[in-house]
């Protein structure tokens, strides 16, 4: 299971569920007191950029993946890409690469060739803007994701299973998300069941709990709920997590509680670690 070759003839998909509730305006925990919505949007834009680079060949960006970004906040659950792709619920990666909403100037530190670092200005593509308003209709977002994934599997029955990453900071206020999460995890291709991973961000300064294999150390029922909603990491993702210094077991789940900036980036990297591209 989870070994299907990913190719242009047999692509897979990523679904990002993006909490856009009002509390995402609060600062994230840790030393960097940035808004949660800014940190999560920035990490997601960076990941999309890296995916397009990873899939770029001489003739252009190959469609090994399609991407769905679903925002949920207040009474809204729907497509969250900005710019030319606004309103699109599922987009091939080549179109993602060709149509960012805009390019922003950023600075990054690079080697000066003499053992030091210098700042260099780079163009950073933006596909997703930070949004924070209203409540947390997570149940609605999971239900929408179920529809998108089901449609994909009807057209790609042999694909590497779709990966759904839920990025949230709050408890669902539109009902119990357990049912739609379970229904989502029961969707499957010939290569295995769809993978649902959950990332919780907060304003708490305590250490993240990354990729646990049980819920005993989790501080509250909400954390345990998200843990139990999450899929186990497949072997290749577990091996990669171990290479990153994370203690893993066969019960390790795709879940991080109280994530800081570093663990958000790590979560997205591990959660989108697919099999070899062809």
Q: What value does the mean pLDDT of the chain take?
A: 92
Q: What pLDDT shows up at residue 149?
A: 98
Say whether pLDDT at 217 is over 90. no
Residue 118 lies in a domain: no
Beta-bridge mates of residue 60: 57
Residue 152's nearest CA partner among 236, 96, 91 is: 91
Quick: pLDDT tens for 137-184: 999 999 999 999 999 999 999 999 999 999 999 889 999 999 999 999
Residue 108 lies in a domain: no
Residue 26 lies in a domain: yes
Share of residues in the chain with pLDDT > 70 (%)? 97
Residue 192 lies in a domain: yes
Rounded average pLDDT over 41-69: 94
Q: What pLDDT shows up at residue 120?
A: 79
d(Cα 174, Cα 73) in Å, to the nearest integer?
Answer: 11
The helix/strand/coil state of 143 is: helix
Q: What pLDDT shows up at residue 124?
A: 92
Residue 115 lies in a domain: no
Is the distance from CB of 193 to CB of 187 less than 8 angstroms? Answer: yes
Is the distance from CB of 52 to CB of 93 less than 8 angstroms? Answer: yes
Residue 49 lies in a domain: yes
Quote the number of domains for the chain. Answer: 1
Rounded average pLDDT over 96-118: 85
Q: What pLDDT shows up at residue 54?
A: 92
Is the distance from CB of 168 to CB of 20 less than 8 angstroms? Answer: no
Q: What pLDDT shows up at residue 276?
A: 63
Residue 20's nearest CA partner among 67, 66, 68, 79 is: 79
Residue 203 lies in a domain: yes
Residue 100: which residues within 8 A CB-CB, separation 6 or more?
83, 125, 126, 127
Q: What pLDDT shows up at residue 206?
A: 81
Q: What pLDDT shows up at residue 31?
A: 57
Which CATH number do you get for residue 83? 3.40.50.410
Residue 113 lies in a domain: no
Say whether pLDDT at 125 is over 70. yes
Residue 212's nearest CA partner among 168, 166, 173, 259 is: 259
- The residue range of the domain holding 94 is 12-100+126-271
State the pLDDT confidence band at 30, using cuts at 50, 70 and 90: low
The helix/strand/coil state of 236 is: helix
The residue written with tokens 């800014």 in the block is: 38
Is the distance from CB of 137 to CB of 174 less than 8 angstroms? Answer: yes
């Amino acid at each position: 299971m989870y070994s299907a070759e990913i190719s242009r003839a047999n692509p897979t998909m990523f679904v990002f569920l993006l909490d856009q509730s009002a509390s995402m305006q609060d600062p994230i925990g840790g030393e960097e007191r940035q808004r949660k919505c800014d940190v999560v949007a920035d990490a997601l834009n960076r990941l999309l950029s890296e995916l397009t680079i990873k899939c770029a060949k001489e003739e252009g960006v190959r469609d090994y993946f399609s991407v769905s970004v679903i925002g949920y906040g207040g009474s809204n659950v729907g497509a969250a890409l900005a710019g030319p792709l606004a309103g699109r619920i599922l987009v091939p990666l080549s179109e993602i690469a060709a149509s960012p909403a805009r390019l922003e100037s950023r600075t990054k530190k690079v080697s000066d060739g003499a053992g030091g670092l210098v700042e260099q200005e780079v163009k950073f593509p933006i596909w997703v803007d930070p949004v924070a308003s209203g409540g947390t209709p997570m149940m609605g977002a999971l239900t929408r994701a179920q529809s998108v994934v089901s449609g994909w599997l009807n057209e790609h029955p042999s694909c590497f299973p779709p990966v759904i990453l839920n990025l949230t900071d709050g408890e669902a206020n539109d009902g119990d998300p357990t049912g739609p999460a379970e229904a989502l995890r029961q969707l499957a291709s010939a290569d295995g069941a769809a993978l649902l991973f959950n990332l919780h961000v907060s304003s708490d300064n305590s250490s993240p709990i990354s990729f646990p294999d049980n819920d005993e150390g989790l501080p509250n029922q909400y954390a345990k709920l998200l843990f139990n909603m999450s899929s186990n990491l497949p072997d290749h993702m577990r091996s990669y997590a171990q290479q990153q210094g994370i203690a893993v077991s066969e019960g390790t789940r795709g879940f991080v509680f109280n994530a800081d900036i570093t663990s958000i980036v790590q979560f997205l990297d591990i959660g989108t670690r697919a099999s070899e591209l062809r």
